[in-house]
Chains A and B, each alone.
Chain A
Amino acid sequence: MFGPPQCHWARPHAHSPMQKRRFTKKELSRYDGMDGVPAFIAYKGRVYDVSRSFLWLNGRHQAVHAAGDDLTSSLDEAPHDADLLKRYPVVGTLSGD
């Protein structure tokens, strides 16, 4: 009855995980995980691609967080530590702009 969770891999602005790039906050906000756009989040200056995570389907996480955001301050209050981010590819860095 249930297939595997649907992950959205359509990449309107495709970037190979190997091609690290520098994101501004505005650029990062476009990767909100909705409508087939990849889901990127930032933590301590690194940008992670969480598109393949079941827990980030449609760019939302636990009803509270949205992709396209810098979650550095939020993660301090999360019930998990930052080690979980090691499961996801780093696709770039976040500039202070």
Chain B
Amino acid sequence: MAKVAREMVEKTGVNVDQLVELLVKNAAAELTTFYYYTILRVNLIGLEGEGIKEIAETARIEDRNHFEALVPRIYELGGKLPEDMKVFHDLSACPPASLPKNPSDIKAMLTVLVEAERCAVRGYTHICNLTAGKDHRTYDLSLAILNEEVEHEAWFSEFLGEGPSGHYLRRGETSPWVGKFLR
């Protein structure tokens, strides 16, 4: 634990135990989403599915990166991951991104993907709101993750016909914002 770092956050009035719980819940959401997206990705096949597979894969890898980036902050603040993976799964901040009953229904697949991203956008917005101007390190990390989650949402939303995402797919490496926390 980073004792003084935690004290500094506590002095700002942030409930650190509550914040750590939120970080663990979001770490669980990231890792479980990585798992569920693996299943979604392998089922994105055929003329329509293949077109979405690439962005689903990018989102999947970046969600795993988010998990990796969150873990050090959890421990710095005195928290820890549950020992039981089943417990970890069930405390996720977002519901399971389960494979739709009909995986060839591309709209259903996209709906699962976009709902997962929207849950993440809400979650990190909440953490940013809690930590802005108070816990600079958690805020910086949450904002970096939020930037990527917003893009994921926009990609899937675009495929659902909700309007242009406004940007292009990743060129080169994944996690342009979160990458600095992984080096």
Q: Is A79 touching B122 in the complex (CB atoms < 8 A)?
A: yes
Q: How far is the CB of A7 from chain B (nearest CB, A)?
A: 11
* Alpha-carbon gap, A43 to B129, bound state (A): 22
B interface size (C-beta, 8 A):
20
Expressed in whole angstroms, the minimum distance between the Cβ of A64 and any Cβ of chain B is 6
A86 within 8 A of B: no
A: number of interface residues (CB 8 Å): 15
Taking CB atoms, residues of chain B closer than 8 Å to A57 are 90-91
Given contacts A54-B95, A55-B94, A63-B18, 4 further A-B contacts (CB under 8 A): A5-B95, A55-B93, A62-B93, A78-B126
For B86, the chain A residues whose CB sits under 8 A away are 1-2
B21 and A63 form a contact (CB under 8 A): yes
Query: In the complex, which residues of chain A have a beta carbon less than 8 angstroms from the beta carbon of B92?
Result: 54
The one of B89, B95, B125 that contacts A2, using a Cβ cutoff of 8 Å: B89
Binding site for B on A (CB under 8 A): 1-2, 4-6, 54-55, 57, 62-64, 77-80
CA distance A43 to B93 in the complex (A): 21
Contact A62 B90 (CB under 8 A): no
A62 to B126 CA separation, bound complex (whole angstroms)? 10
Closest to A54 in B: B95
